[in-house]
Amino acid sequence: MEELYQEFIIELYKNPLNFGKIERPEMHAQLHNTTCGDQIELFVRVNEGKIEQAKFIGKGCAISQASASLFTSYLKGKKINELEKITKDDVLGLLKIDLSKNPSRMKCALLVFDTMKKMIKTKE
């Protein structure tokens, strides 16, 4: 359990990167994890087919919020057609912690990934 909440996860929880809304985003989606109550709302601004800005708002555990923080930074500069190629492992790799033995925390970490998938579907 101690390694689960590494110092950088707590720091991102307290001071998340890219936290906030984007007015008039080209892409947007939100999801709620009914199991634990975590919520993520993802906003993306696109310029010339690339993600220029990505932000999120939400509430929940340190893992879900840190994952959203890291993932929004990861999205910047990606081409829209690259989003389909992003995998769960890519997202989990950003956290640098092993959640394989804790499936409930895995759902928390992947909430932002699932939100992105929903965002892609609603954009089509």
CATH architecture of 3-123: Alpha-Beta Complex (3.90)
Distance of CA 79 to the CA centre of its chain: 17
The token duo for 34 is 């009914």
Residue 1 pLDDT greater than 50, yes or no: no
pTM score, whole prediction: 0.91
- Residue spans per domain, the chain: 3-123
The HSE-up count of residue 116 (CA atoms within 13 Å, CB side) is: 27
Give residue 113's pLDDT.
Answer: 97
Give residue 20's pLDDT.
Answer: 98
CA distances from 114 to 2, 8, 64, 104, 119 (A): 26, 23, 12, 15, 9
Lowest model confidence (mean pLDDT) among 44-48, 80-84, 101-105 = 101-105
Residue 91's pLDDT band (boundaries 50, 70, 90)? very high
Each residue of 10-44: pLDDT tens digit? Answer: 899 999 999 999 999 999 999 998 888 999 999 99
Residue 2's pLDDT band (boundaries 50, 70, 90)? very low
